[in-house]
């Protein structure tokens, strides 16, 4: 990332960190390896969690960069057997035998390969994801086929149903029912919940093959529910603002994701949400009550600011705080870490049960184990509910040891 000048147009700078029409990874530049470290309180301890081994977490940024210009064959776990369909297989060019390309959600590691020049075949996705393809990547509408959640469609005699994946906005589980009665479920990325057990298509039909998001398929990953984390974040933020009214509350987010977090803060504290023009355009495309009407175009009108993850560096945050012309004198960063991501950088310092960390030039950091992927127990409950004949993991599959461990977990769950 280029060194910032003394005078920074933060809106333009942060715009660069949102997806561009021909962007692959959704953000220009990388993190400065020499950035200053901060001593922090490890909030994961509040839930009695271990620091997981980082080698089990996929290194998306590195893999995307190294594979960008390589032509590879589409792996079997992205193909739906007995159909001409693939799921999240856009970086392989024109896939032989594929007549329909399904996109589970709008995250870069799943849509990589999609650009405004896409012409290999129709893209099936949810309505919200379809809007994001148009406004962020400028994919031609002639190739985009939006599908309503919870509605059954027929394509080449195959029944297809998109189901809410409880991940990012527009994310879907994709259910396929073939003419011979075989049923396949591809989860894309998802956070399993008990609500999914009430989905009629899942409750009434046996799943023959489950393509499972195994991002956190390891017993170490037992992080709390989204609801518990949101309650905690709102409570900490409220107490901090009561004690320090002239504070900017910053939530770091990718182009999409974490909307429930800052929406919860906004609702609980009765404040608007400031985001730059590019993010406001994306958020308005959701059509969500509680966000669209609460967006602010002026950062000085509200203490709640949404910034790109890549901007969460102290030199940038300090300049951002200084750009507020004295209206705000301190900053609280709600750092919503994916559980397992860079946890070795977090060194605990105690101050009761409050996640307030070391102070550097009026910037305070707080980190909580927030995830939009299923934890280990949630995966177990989901598998035991579905009782599929076969499970194909889709994440952390490059290592034979990992694959073997996951299959042993699956066998244990299905025996119980």
- Provide the pLDDT for residue 83: 98
**pLDDT score at 3:** 35
pLDDT score of 58: 40
**In angstroms, rounded to a whole number, what is the distance separating the alpha carbons of residues 49 and 339?**
10
Dihedral sign, Cα of residue 314, residue 226, residue 392, residue 54: positive
Splitting the chain (416 residues) into consecutive groups of 10 residues, what average pLDDT does each group show?
41 50 38 34 38 38 49 90 98 96 97 97 98 97 98 97 97 98 98 97 96 96 88 89 90 88 94 95 89 92 92 83 88 64 33 33 62 95 98 95 97 94
Predicted confidence at residue 157, as pLDDT, reads 96
3-state SS, one letter per residue, for 89-154: CCCCCCCCCCCEEECCCCCHHHHCCCCCCCCCCCEEEEHHHHHHHHHHHCCCHHHEEEECECCEEE
**CATH code at 60-214+374-415:** 3.60.15.10
Burial class (CB in 10 A: 0-12, 13-18, 19+), 49: buried
Strands in 215-254 per DSSP E: 247-253
Per-residue pLDDT, 134: 97
Show me where the domains of the chain are located.
10-54+223-369, 60-214+374-415
CATH: 3.40.50.2300, 3.40.50.12650, 3.90.1300.10, 3.40.50.1820. Which one for 10-54+223-369? 3.40.50.12650
């Amino acid at each position: 990332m280029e060194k910032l000048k003394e005078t920074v147009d933060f809106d333009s700078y942060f715009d660069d960190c949102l997806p561009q029409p021909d962007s692959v990874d959704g953000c220009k530049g990388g993190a400065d390896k020499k950035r200053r470290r901060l001593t922090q309180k490890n909030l994961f301890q509040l839930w009695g969690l271990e620091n997981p081994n980082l080698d089990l977490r996929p290194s998306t940024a590195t893999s995307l960069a190294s594979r960008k210009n390589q032509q590879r064959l589409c792996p079997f776990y992205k193909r739906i057997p007995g159909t001409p369909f693939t799921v999240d297989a856009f970086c392989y060019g024109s896939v032989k035998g594929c007549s329909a390309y399904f996109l589970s959600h709008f995250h870069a590691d799943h849509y990589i390969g999609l650009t405004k020049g896409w012409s290999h075949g129709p893209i099936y996705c949810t309505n919200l994801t379809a809007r994001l393809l148009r406004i962020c990547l400028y994919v031609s509408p002639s190739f985009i086929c939006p599908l309503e959640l919870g509605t059954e469609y027929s394509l080449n005699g195959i029944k297809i149903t998109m189901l809410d994946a409880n991940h990012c906005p527009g994310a879907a589980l994709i259910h396929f029912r073939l003419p011979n009665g075989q049923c396949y479920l591809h989860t894309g990325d998802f956070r399993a919940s008990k609500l999914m057990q009430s989905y009629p298509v899942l409750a009434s039909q046996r799943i023959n093959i489950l393509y499972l998001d195994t991002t956190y398929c390891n017993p170490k990953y037992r992080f709390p529910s989204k609801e518990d984390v949101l309650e905690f974040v709102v409570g900490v933020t409220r107490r901090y603002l009561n004690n320090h009214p002239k504070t900017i509350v910053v939530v770091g987010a990718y182009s999409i994701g974490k909307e429930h977090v800052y929406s919860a803060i906004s609702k609980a504290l009765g404040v608007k949400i400031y985001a730059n023009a590019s993010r406001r355009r994306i958020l308005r495309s959701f059509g969500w009550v509680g966000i669209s009407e609460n967006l602010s175009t002026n950062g000085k009108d509200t203490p709640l600011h949404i910034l790109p993850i890549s901007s969460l560096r102290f030199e940038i945050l300090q300049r951002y705080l200084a750009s507020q012309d004295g209206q705000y004198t301190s900053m609280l960063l709600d750092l919503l870490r994916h559980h397992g991501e860079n946890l070795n950088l977090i060194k605990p310092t105690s101050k009761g049960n409050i996640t307030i960390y070391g102070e550097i030039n009026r910037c305070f950091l707080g980190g909580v184990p927030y995830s939009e992927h299923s934890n280990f127990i949630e995966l177990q409950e989901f598998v035991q509910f579905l009782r599929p004949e076969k499970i194909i993991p889709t994440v952390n599959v490059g290592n034979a040891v990992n694959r073997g461990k996951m299959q042993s977990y699956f066998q244990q769950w299905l025996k119980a």
